[in-house]
Chains A and B, each alone.
Chain A
Amino acid sequence: MTKLAAKNHIVGLKCKECARRYPETALHVCEFCFGPLEVEYDYEVICQRASRKAIEAGPRSMWRYKDFLPVQPDDQLVDIGAGLTPLVRSKNLAEALGLDQLYLKNDCVNPTYSFKDRPVSVAATKALEFGFEILSCASTGNLAGAVAAHAARAGVRSFIFVPSNLEAGKILGAAIYDPVLVAVDGNYDQVNRLCSEIADRYHWAFVNINMRPYYAEGSKTLAFEVAEQLGWRAPDHVVVPVASGSMFTKIWKGFQELAKTELLPERLPRMSVAQALGCSPIATAYFNGTFNVKPVIPDTIAKSLAIGNPADGYYDLKIIEESGGAAETATDEEIVDGIKLLAQTEGIFAETAGGVTIACLKKLIASGKVRRDELVVAYITGNGLKTQEAVADQVAPAIQVGPTLTSFEEAFCKLDHPANVAAVA
Chain B
Amino acid sequence: MARVRVKFTFPPMLIKEPVIHNMSMQHNLVTNIRRANVTKDKGWVVLELEGAQDAIDGAIASVTAMGVRVDPVEGDVIEG
Contacts and interface: CB of A to CB of B under 8 A. Distances in A.
Interface string A304-341: 10111111100000000000000000000000000000
Instruction: Tell me which of A28, A139, A292 has the highest count of chain B C-beta atoms within 10 A of its own C-beta.
Output: A292
Interface string B55-80: 00000000000000101111111111
Q: Is the interface of A mostly helix, strand, loop or mixed?
A: loop
Tell which of B37, B39, B44, B76 has the most Cβ of chain A within 10 Å: B76
A116 B77 contact: no
Q: Dominant SS at the B interface?
A: strand
B35 to A, nearest CB: 5
Contacts of B21: none
A243 B77 CA distance: 10
A292 B42 contact: yes
A29 interface: yes
B51 interface: no
B8 to A, nearest CB: 11
A119 B37 CA distance: 30
B80 A143 contact: yes
Contact of A33 (B34, B37, B43): B34
Nearest to B6: A34
Given A29-B5, A292-B39, A295-B9, A34 B34 contact: yes
Given A29-B5, A292-B42, A34 B73 contact: yes
B46 interface: yes
A309 B75 contact: yes
Contact of B74 (A119, A146, A311): A311
A140 B79 contact: yes
B76 A244 contact: yes
Contacts of B46: 33-34
A309 B76 contact: yes
A264 interface: no
B50 to A, nearest CB: 14
A362 B76 CA distance: 29
Contact of A196 (B9, B35, B69, B74): B74
Nearest to B39: A292
A139 B79 contact: yes
A294 interface: yes
A216 interface: yes
Contact of A193 (B35, B69, B72, B79): B72
A106 interface: no
A216 B78 contact: yes
Contacts of B72: 192-193, 196
Interface string A245-281: 0100000000000000000000000000000000000
A284 interface: no
Interface stretch (A50-58, A85-93, A207-215, A226-234): A207-215
B69 A295 contact: yes
Interface string B26-59: 0000000011010100111010100000000000
Contacts of A146: 80
7 contacts: A29-B73, A33-B35, A33-B46, A36-B75, A143-B80, A188-B79, A311-B74
